[in-house]
Amino acid sequence: MTAAPSNHNLGTPVIVLMAVASALTVANVYFNQALLPAIATDFGISPREVGLIATLSQLGYALGIVLVVPLGDRNEPRSLVRILLIGVAAALAAAASAPKLSILAGLSIVICMGTCVPQIVLPLAAGLTRPERRGRVIASVQTGLVLGILLSRTLAGIGANSFGWRPVYIIAAGLMLSSAIVLPMVLPRRGALSATVPYLTLLGSLWGLVCREAKLRLSCLLGAAIFAAFSAFWTTIPFRLQQPPFNFDLAGVGYFALWGGIGGLASLFAGGLIDRFGQDRVSVAAVVLAAASIVLGAIWPSSYIALVASGNLLSFALSAGQIANQARIFCLGAEIRSRLNTIYMASTFAGGAIGSAGAGIVWASHGWTGVCGFALTCVAVAAASLAGAGITTLRTRGANGEA
């Protein structure tokens, strides 16, 4: 079976459903961040120990992207998505009854390994869209991802405050079962691009792509560094908000996640900006905004408005940078698109795991100020990556970032 032509024009309803499904599935990686204080209290452990859940969630997602997403170049996506969602639902149900941290942490890896569904859907959507609309379609699906991140934290915080953290996992399991029924029904049928390539050969080709594609390496460095800063902020902000002068409960933390991250929805417009100004310009702007957001939160750590603004700027910087990075790599070849996304997203979420782990350690010893310094260091790595690629100003033009 051959792949659908790349100039196929996906209808708006299908794109919207892809975005909704991506929102529901990516929520599994993030909703536990709003539950960390409740889990720590239930298990009688410290904030540093419970931060392991967020760290392993990011690592699990990265493992899923490395081991599962390459199958998108070989297998029919609808069957692959159905199997993954059923497995995730079962793991979520088991997590709801986890008796101790070690079991919940292990299940978090399994859950997030299977929650790589959006990273299968995204290359599929890009490949079935005309090139002149590709940036906007990527932005639409990414907006679904942002909504999933924002609403998962908010709703999980409210749910945990009302019913406890365990029912939140049960609800998530039900949503995954529903998605396993609906999503395969709406995904376009697309034959495998590399149907005869053995699985181990697919995996073995990843390193060769990294060595060969300079644009891929740049996107990976940018994605990992900015997501490390993002994860550092959101992993520790619940603990900051439970300190004076805020003294928030879990519902308050959840509401902050909504108001503090809603700026990420502006990513809906980032696709048009990329089509007009090019990926490089958007990447530079994203790094500048990320740095500004962290400085804002560091200067006014006791101002709710400042922290909300900081969260919004950082969310938009992450989303815009992500779309620019993926638009850059999806131009490199249709037959390797899933593997390109595998490499990029694995790098990004490995960066997120480093950000979560580093923030937990720094929080324990240096508090919020230390976390801001750590996050700013991550952004500096992104700036250095752009400088190393010769991208230091907003001078580039065109969809490919060419002068």
What pLDDT, on a 0 to 100 scale, did the predictor assign at position 397?
A: 45
Q: Closest by alpha carbon to 319, among 277, 360, 367, 269? A: 269
Residue-by-residue DSSP string for 206-236: HHHHHHH-HHHHHHHHHHHHHHHHHHHHHHH
What pLDDT, on a 0 to 100 scale, did the predictor assign at position 192?
A: 52
Q: Phi/psi class of residue 398: alpha, beta or left (left: φ > 0; alpha: ψ in -120 to 50)?
A: left
Q: Please tell me the distance from the alpha carbon of residue 354 to that of residue 333, in angstroms, as a whole number.
A: 30
Mean pLDDT of the chain: 87
CB 131 within 8 A of CB 398: no
Give domain limits for the chain.
12-388
Instruction: List, run by run, the mean pLDDT of 10-residue segments along the chain (403 residues).
Output: 49 85 92 90 88 88 89 86 95 94 94 92 83 81 84 87 92 94 83 70 93 95 96 93 91 80 76 83 95 97 95 91 92 87 89 92 95 98 93 54 42
CB 173 within 8 A of CB 96: yes
What pLDDT, on a 0 to 100 scale, did the predictor assign at position 398?
A: 45
What pLDDT, on a 0 to 100 scale, did the predictor assign at position 399?
A: 45
Q: Please tell me the distance from the alpha carbon of residue 76 to that of residue 269, in angstroms, as a whole number.
A: 31
CB 23 within 8 A of CB 144: yes
Both structure tokens of 139: 């932005």
CATH superfamily of the domain spanning 12-388: MFS general substrate transporter like domains (1.20.1250.20)
Model confidence over 297-306: pLDDT tens digits? 999 999 999 9
